[in-house]
Amino acid sequence: MFTFLCEDSPNGILSGIYDAWAFKIAQNKKCLTGERGLPPCTHEDISLLCKEPINYALFCEYVPVSPSPEKAGKVAATLLKRLGNEFYETLLGAILAAAPSKEGDIDKAHAAYQTVVLALTSYAGARILHDLSNPYVHRIFTLSRATFMEAHHLMGFLRFCELGNGVLFSTIHPKNNALPHLAEHFTDRLPQENFIIYDENRRMAAVHSAGKGFILADASDLNKDILKQYSPKELEYRSLWQAFFDHIAIEARVNPKLQAQNIPKRFWKDTRELSSDPPSA
C-alpha cells in the first residue's frame, strides 16, 4: 500500500493526484521488467491524505507531495478536456470544502483521486457523478454541495463597504473555502469596481482591479487600520440604511427564530444591519 500526503489546497490535492497516477505507471513498468520482483500496482493500492495521519499503518509506504502549480495545471487541463467543466467544478468544490475529521469519513483527497480514476477509466466518464451509491462519488457530491451552498448564501449576504481610497471591501468568515466562487461572481457583477473580499478564517483575499480579473493573495499581514477608514459616503449611506432597517421593523412581530432561519447567525457578524458594530469614522 502507498499513501500520498498532500497539502489541503487545490494545488496540493491535484498535485497528489498527478503524483499518485504517475507512481502507479512507474511501478507497473518496473513490474513488467521484473525489477525487484514487484507485484502489479493498482489504483486500489494507492490512497491520498490531505492531513497528517493520526496512526501510521504497517506495511504502508508514505510519500510526501510538494504542491506544484505545473502538475495541478496538467491535471486540471486533462479533466476539463476529457470530462468537462461540470465535472471539474464539482471536484474543485469538494476540494475547497472544509472536511472535519470524523470516524469513518473518507478523506476528501482520496475521494477526489478515486472519483477521477473512476471517471477516466470507465465508460461512464463524467456521468460517474450520478452514481451516488459509490462512497467516493457520494463524498465528493456532499462536500461540493456544502461549498456551493455556502457560496450561494454569501452572494446574497455579503456586504461591501467603501474605504477612504474608493476600494470596496468585505470581510467574510465561511466554513468552506467559498472565496474563489465569490470572487468570480462579483468580478462578473462589478467588473469596473476595485474590490477586495477578505476571508478572515483563512487569511486570504480576492483582489480585483477595475476592468481586470481577480487574484487570490495571502492576506496574513493585512493592515486592519486602513479598513476602518471609511469614505464619507459610506458612513452616510450606512447610517441611512440602518435607520431604514430599524424603522420598517414592526416591534410586535419581531421573530428572532424566523430571522435566524432566513439568515443563519454565523453570517450576522458580517451583515451591517445585524451587526452590533456602530458605524464610525
Name the more confident of 231 and 45.
231
Output the CA–CA distances (angstroms, integers) from residue 163 to 14, 194, 228, 240, in the order listed: 37, 11, 8, 17
Determine the 3-state secondary structure of 149 from DSSP: helix
- Mean pLDDT within 94-115: 85
- Give yes or no: residues 37 and 132 share one domain: yes
From 149, 179, 206, the end of a domain falls on 149
Which residues span the domain enclosing 254?
A: 158-270
Q: Tell me, yes or no, whether 168 lies in a domain.
A: yes
Q: For residue range 159-193, list pLDDT tens digits in order.
A: 898 998 889 999 999 999 999 999 999 999 999 99
- Give yes or no: residues 198 and 70 share one domain: no
Q: Give the contacts of 51 (CB within 8 A, at least 6 positions apart).
A: 8, 101, 107
- Give yes or no: residues 143 and 217 share one domain: no
At 277, is the pLDDT very low, low, confident or very high (cuts 50, 70, 90)?
low
Return the pLDDT at 130.
94
| Rounded CA separation 112/99 (Å) | 13
- Give yes or no: residues 70 and 144 share one domain: yes
Provide the domain count of the chain.
Answer: 2
- Give yes or no: residues 33 and 133 share one domain: yes
> Which of 56-60, 124-128, 218-222 comes out lowest in average pLDDT?
56-60
Buried b / exposed e along 147-162 (16+ C-beta atoms within 10 A): bbebbebbeebbbbbb
| Rounded CA separation 199/231 (Å) | 22
| Rounded CA separation 25/127 (Å) | 25
Q: Tell me, yes or no, whether 15 lies in a domain.
A: yes
Q: Which of 102, 142, 117 is nearest to 48 (CA)?
A: 117
Return the pLDDT at 165.
87
Return the pLDDT at 238.
79
30 C-beta neighbours (distance < 10 Å), count: 13
204 within 8 A of 217, measured Cβ to Cβ = yes
Q: Tell me, yes or no, whether 276 lies in a domain.
A: no
Helix (H) or strand (E) holding 128: none
Return the pLDDT at 254.
79
| Rounded CA separation 219/172 (Å) | 13
CA 32 to chain centre: 40
Give the angle subtended at the CA of 146 by the CAs of 144 and 150, to the nearest 5°.
120
- Give yes or no: residues 66 and 127 share one domain: yes
From 91, 119, 149, the end of a domain falls on 149
- Residue 34: phi and psi, rounded to 5, are 75, 15
Q: Which of 111, 114, 117, 113 is nearest to 140 (CA)?
A: 111
- Give yes or no: residues 15 and 88 share one domain: yes
Q: What is the pTM of this model?
A: 0.83
176 C-beta neighbours (distance < 10 Å), count: 22
Exposed, middle or buried by CB within 10 Å (0-12, 13-18, 19+), for 198? buried
At 279, is the pLDDT very low, low, confident or very high (cuts 50, 70, 90)?
very low
Q: For residue range 52-86, list pLDDT tens digits in order.
A: 766 766 677 888 999 999 999 999 999 999 999 99
Q: Tell me, yes or no, whether 69 lies in a domain.
A: yes
Average pLDDT, the chain: 86
- Give yes or no: residues 67 and 8 share one domain: yes
At 281, is the pLDDT very low, low, confident or very high (cuts 50, 70, 90)?
very low
- Give yes or no: residues 19 and 124 share one domain: yes
